[in-house]
Chains A and B, each alone.
Chain A
Amino acid sequence: MKSLFVFVLTAFFLAAPAANAALNVLTCEPEWAALTQELAGDLAQVSSATTALQDPHRIQARPSLLAKARRADLLICTGAELEMGWLPLLQREAGNARIQPGQPGYFEAARFARIIERPTALDRAQGDVHASGNPHLHLDPRNIARVADGLTKRLADLDPVNGARYAQRNTDFQSRWTAAMARWEQQGARLRGAPVVVHHRNLSYLADWLGLQVIGELEPRPGMEPTAGHLAELLETLKATPARMVLRTAYESPKASEWLASRATIPALELPYTVGGSPGAKDLFGLFDDTLSRLQQSAP
């Protein structure tokens, strides 16, 4: 009991907040941490709950995340039910009133983005479908620009003293982003209409933006592991309508895509998916630079 008391006391002393950073930001995914860094620089202390090698659908509200959520001034997540298996628990158990739904300290990127693939019918027989549309929205860079505007406003709301600096950083980011998008779209022009197979529907926005034609998915239903039977069927389909490549993300197992690619004699390509998913994807610009260069190399 005495040692417990000492422990609590130590905890109080450790609790001294980081003095120099204005906002303590926790993001659900690395892309929003990277975006916050672009917009806030050293005005915010940012950490991400997940890495590019983790599946954002399947995370647990583990102790370290609760401890982070407890101290966050701003929680930034994708929303659109992507994190429904763990985020509500994180918000409820953190004892932090600031980051509750509806509060300024909780920011949902999906509310500022253009959402595609809204299901017309909801039935678990269709797999783990997301009721409010496809949540993997950051792979359309136009969505990043939209979310950046929304986030800039939110940062200014929470930290009005630095409002002008957020706005100025956003203007700077938007002009660099617009230029980069033009470059990427030019690089991707040759890929327009290219038939591809994807592992999960987490590449839908990339395909939508670049005009890739998704003709098959390795998952038999969204969120369900690829099965041998489904892959064999897919291989048959590819014989009739060949694809240019099989795409997967850094957090997905390479087994299924390599199995299919080797039999269909097309390249299997791993894309970083988000910041940190490859050595080149160091920030948001690197993410798309690397994604485009990988796509170009595989589809000459």
Chain B
Amino acid sequence: MFHRLLLAAGLAVALASPARAASPDEIAALRAEFESKFQSLQADYEARLKALESRVQTAEIKADNAQQDAAANAGPPPVSSSAFNPDISLILQGAYIDRAGGERPISGFLPADEHAHGERGFTLDHTEVVISANVDPYSRALVNLALADDEVEVEEAWFQTLRLGHGLTVKGGRFRSGIGYQNERHPHAWDFADNSLMYSALFGEALKQDGLQLRWLAPTELFLELGAEVAKGQFFPGSDGGADKNGAGAWAAFAHVGGDVGVAHSWRAGLSYLRASPREREGFLDDINDFEALTAFSGRSSAWLADFVWKWAPDGNPRQRNFIFAAEYFDRDEDGDLLCRDDSAAGGACLGLTDRYASAQSGGYAQAIYQFMPRWRTGLRYDRLDGGSVDFGTNGAFFEAVDFDPSRWSLMTDYSPSEFSRFRLQFARDKSFEGDPDNQVILQYILSIGAHGAHKF
């Protein structure tokens, strides 16, 4: 086609050339030349087209021939998540929340978050971008960014090995720790609109680690997985001060076992241990003057977590109906020194003393989720924490002794028009803040666009 155009254009230029008037003979000769060239070109193209057609035909015959290896001819293009473009997904999670305002820390527990007051009214809550792809045949990388006004928080940014074999997988970077059951699940995968009290008290949202994780899956019939993590330890229950050193500021270990019972039931149980060494970890505590006193804890923090999950679906097909039961329990000991900053000038009780601080606290939650028909699920969760024993040493003079076990009941129903969207209504009777129980209502949406997420157990 292009050749023909060029030829025609050339001819037109030649014919129209004003510089030299062409004789009719010359024009006729040129025309003849053009015709012959054009015809030979046409013949050439026809021959090539025929050749191409016959090649396509043989290819088709080959593809249809069952004796042939169909891979090259008939198979679909190799599509997988390791394609050149990374998988990108975006999660929108917003809510309308009706609850008591103001600071409402979990009574009797050192706060894991600076701000203990939850948002109310309409809120964007959580917007997340997840980008992942294989780096090369040997590893995969993932970045999870939480977007909020004026800030982007790196929730996760890690690589994971793919080909170590022998059941070994190494993860490095910032990742959600493998301890417990809920810890690795991002908020959009939670079965309730808010965090369990256990995880709020233990980690704020979830334990993130900047470091390395090694997992080993045993070559056994029974699922048995062991894991160990060494990390910087700057996140609660660690602190920036404790992380400012060579070596690891925190380490964790976990073991999971699991399997099936018949075709309809499957389960997993786990035991985890976490050790952190916070230095001057800051936290606000209400003192006897009802003043928010700034405290700084230095010492060691260790926690045991036990988790159990059991899932049921008729014939193992969760599409119509399914049931999930999950429960976790923790036991945390902290031992060290607590400084209660001198704030008497501002009205606080503290006199700037540093003295021994020791606490032994525990708690947990149990929840059940039932999908009673396609698209519809309902769930009930019970949270309970045990304030246990807290010894402030001489600083005890500035704090009222708390003898209180925070608890909460939550009831939710959610509706999922598709795998990519979910709408949830949740009621909770919250008794985690001493002396002021609260009734809470949350209407939530969770939408995901982009790559298809994987269904973690």
Contact = CB atoms under 8 A, between A and B. Distances in A.
Given A11-B222, A51-B316, A64-B260, A89 B454 contact: yes
Contacts of A165: none
Given A111-B78, A113-B74, A115-B76, A70 B137 contact: no
B266 interface: yes
Interface string B419-457: 110000000000000000000000000000100111111
A63 interface: yes
Given A14-B221, A15-B220, A61-B454, A112 B169 contact: no
A96 B260 CA distance: 21
A51 B67 contact: no
A85 B452 contact: yes
Interface in B311-365: 311, 315-320
A118 B417 CA distance: 25
A62 B167 contact: no
B321 to A, nearest CB: 10
Contacts of B260: 62, 64
A219 B123 CA distance: 34
A61 B457 contact: yes
Interface of A: 4, 7-8, 11-12, 14-15, 17, 50-51, 53-55, 58-64, 66-67, 70-71, 79-81, 84-86, 88-89, 92-98, 100-102, 110-115, 118, 124, 127-128, 131-133, 142, 145-146, 149-150, 153, 174, 223-225, 251, 253
Contacts of B168: 95
A8 B226 contact: yes
B166 interface: yes
Interface in B76-101: 76-82
Given A124-B449, A223-B418, 8 more contacts: A62-B266, A63-B223, A63-B256, A64-B259, A67-B218, A92-B169, A95-B217, A100-B137
Given A66-B223, A97-B162, A128-B419, A15 B311 contact: no
A33 to B, nearest CB: 15
B216 A132 contact: no
A146 B71 CA distance: 9
Contacts of A253: 319-320, 374
A110 B78 CA distance: 9
A78 to B, nearest CB: 11
B219 interface: yes
B71 A112 contact: yes
A146 B456 contact: no
B266 A251 contact: no
B70 interface: yes
A58 B66 contact: no
B370 to A, nearest CB: 17
B63 interface: yes
Contact of B79 (A62, A70, A131): A131
B116 interface: no
Interface residues of B, number: 71
Find the residue from B66, B256, B319 having the highest chain A CB count within 10 A: B66
A118 B167 contact: no
B74 A55 contact: no
B163 interface: yes
Interface string B281-324: 00000000000000000000000000000010001111110000
B202 to A, nearest CB: 21
Contacts of B271: 4
Given A113-B75, A131-B79, A15 B219 contact: yes
Contacts of A128: 418-419
Given A51-B263, A128-B419, A95 B220 contact: no
Contacts of B67: 149
Contacts of B126: none
A253 B318 CA distance: 11
A86 B455 contact: yes
Contacts of B449: 124
A185 B218 CA distance: 48
Given A124-B449, A146-B70, A95 B216 contact: yes
B217 A4 contact: no
Interface of B: 63-64, 66-71, 74-82, 137, 140, 160, 162-169, 215-226, 255-260, 263, 266-268, 271, 311, 315-320, 374-375, 417-420, 449, 452-457
28 contacts: A7-B224, A12-B218, A14-B222, A15-B219, A15-B220, A60-B318, A63-B258, A63-B259, A63-B267, A63-B268, A64-B258, A64-B266, A67-B217, A67-B223, A70-B167, A79-B76, A88-B81, A89-B456, A93-B169, A111-B71, A112-B70, A114-B74, A115-B75, A115-B76, A124-B420, A131-B79, A146-B70, A253-B320
Contacts of B453: 85
B79 A132 contact: yes
Contact of A11 (B74, B162, B218, B457): B218
Given A70-B219, A97-B163, A153-B69, A251 B82 contact: no
Contacts of A111: 70-71, 75-76, 78
B165 A95 contact: yes
Contact of A14 (B162, B164, B220, B419): B220
Given A62-B266, A95-B167, A102 B70 contact: no
Contacts of B452: 84-85
A112 B67 CA distance: 11
A132 B311 contact: no
A150 B226 CA distance: 37
B416 to A, nearest CB: 10
A112 B320 contact: no
B66 A146 contact: yes
B66 A142 contact: yes
